[in-house]
């Protein structure tokens, strides 16, 4: 329990802290004033001042905040600061850089976490091992069995499940020859000390054009053999440079998948009841904490990607909305009318509140269903 609590605090607090650190670093690099940089929210437990900025450790450790000088035009300049350090008086492109630095830092952090995972534990590569065979499928007709490892297709070695699927898709339904490795069955049930052996066999089959579900629940047509993965993986080890590249590829894949998720949600392909909030995140982090550090780091990278993309959405109040305002000012050489800004902010706050209420409702409903509190009595 304590491990889960510590993991939740470190993951959620750390991700939001790095987000704010991005804003802070770029603001200071451009010479803008910062009155406060706090790790955590609420009452300040510790505080110290360096230069004009107060650094604080606050009571609630889930995140942090950066208070820029003159974030809005109606704010007074605090004592000790000059007009040159006021955020709202800076050119639009400088304000854009400061605002974009937060979500960009989350994406960079995700890459660093993926780099660390690839370097310390390796990259998991799903093996082309059969976990299940569909009834009346080409694989069943060819005699493929669960546990078979696909070594090659038409003499072309395949070392991963994705490589195998790519070869089948590229074949457009032509008959292929598979080289399989089938584990031998021990002669006795208690022969656990027996060295594992396997037999190589050749089978021929013709993939069938079938419909399958995508990760988002959509139907898509594909050439399929009628097998499912066993879930077995091998860990591909990397040196420092290769780990960085592997981490970058993993980050790019997560970015693409997460962005597609947001798009599918807007298109109503993904139902609204799949939206999760803080309760779900706490549950996921707590579960991964019980299973080990690699799972926590991988989940932290994924949440960091989500946080970055969410903040890039063009919704007023979020960083993306402010970026849109800055771009408008850069293109048309004048800021949006103050009334337009005020009303857009109100709309943004309303949208954000509705999203948080939806996510919290979904989280609570999932907890209720998982505990069977509305189940029928006996």
Catalytic residues: 20
Residue 296: how many other CB atoms lie within 10 Å: 24
Contacts with 261 (C-beta within 8 Å, 6 or more apart), sequence order: 216, 270
Contacts with 272 (C-beta within 8 Å, 6 or more apart), sequence order: 265, 358, 362
CA distances 14 to 2, 61, 311, 326, Å, are 18, 9, 16, 28
Cα 58 from Cα 109, distance rounded (Å): 23
Beta strand segments in the chain, E: 34-50, 53-68, 123-126, 130-133, 149-153, 156-157, 176-183, 198-205, 208-213, 219-224, 227-229, 233-236
What string of DSSP letters covers 32-50?
A: --EEEEEEEEEEEEEEEEE
48-60: burial string, b at 16+ Cβ within 10 Å, e else: eeeeebbbbebee
Q: Can you tell me which residue has the tokens 């790019």? A: 252
**Distance, CA of 118 to chain centre:** 16
- 116 and 149 Cβ atoms separated by less than 8 Å: no
**Distance, CA of 174 to chain centre:** 37
283: tokens are: 């549950």
């Amino acid at each position: 329990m304590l491990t889960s609590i510590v993991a939740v605090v470190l993951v959620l607090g750390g991700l939001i802290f790095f987000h704010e650190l991005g804003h802070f670093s770029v603001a200071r690099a451009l010479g803008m004033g910062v009155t406060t940089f706090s790790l955590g929210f609420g009452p300040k437990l510790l505080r110290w001042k360096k230069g004009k900025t107060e650094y604080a450790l606050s009571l609630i450790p889930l995140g942090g905040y950066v208070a820029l000088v003159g974030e809005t035009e109606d704010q007074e300049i605090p004592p000790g600061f000059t007009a040159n350090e006021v955020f709202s008086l800076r050119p639009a492109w400088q304000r854009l850089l400061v605002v974009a630095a937060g979500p960009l830092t989350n994406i960079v952090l995700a890459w660093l976490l993926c780099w660390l995972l690839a370097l310390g534990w390796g990259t998991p590569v799903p093996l082309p091992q059969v976990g299940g065979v569909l009834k009346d499928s080409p694989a069943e007709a060819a005699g493929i069995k669960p546990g078979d490892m696909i070594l090659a297709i038409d003499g072309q070695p395949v070392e991963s499940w994705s490589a195998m699927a790519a070869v089948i898709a590229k074949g457009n339904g032509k008959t292929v020859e598979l080289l399989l490795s089938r584990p031998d069955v021990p002669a006795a049930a208690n022969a656990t000390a027996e060295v594992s052996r396997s037999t190589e066999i050749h089978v021929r089959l013709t993939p069938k054009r079938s419909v399958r579900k995508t990760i988002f629940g959509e139907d898509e047509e594909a050439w399929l053999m009628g097998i499912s993965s066993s879930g077995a993986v091998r860990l591909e080890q990397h040196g420092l440079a290769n780990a960085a590249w592997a981490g970058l590829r993993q980050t790019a894949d997560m970015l693409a998948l997460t962005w597609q998720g947001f798009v599918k949600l807007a298109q109503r392909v993904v139902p609204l009841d799949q939206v999760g909030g803080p309760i779900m995140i706490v549950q996921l982090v707590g579960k991964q904490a019980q299973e080990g550090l690699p799972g926590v780091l991988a989940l932290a990278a994924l949440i960091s990607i989500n946080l970055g993309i969410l903040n890039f959405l063009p919704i007023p109040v979020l960083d993306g909305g402010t970026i849109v305002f800055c771009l408008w000012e850069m293109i048309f050489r004048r800021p949006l009318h103050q009334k337009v800004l005020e009303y857009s902010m109100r709309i943004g706050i309303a949208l954000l509140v509705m999203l948080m209420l939806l996510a919290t409702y979904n989280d609570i409903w999932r907890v209720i269903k998982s505990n069977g509190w509305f189940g029928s009595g006996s």
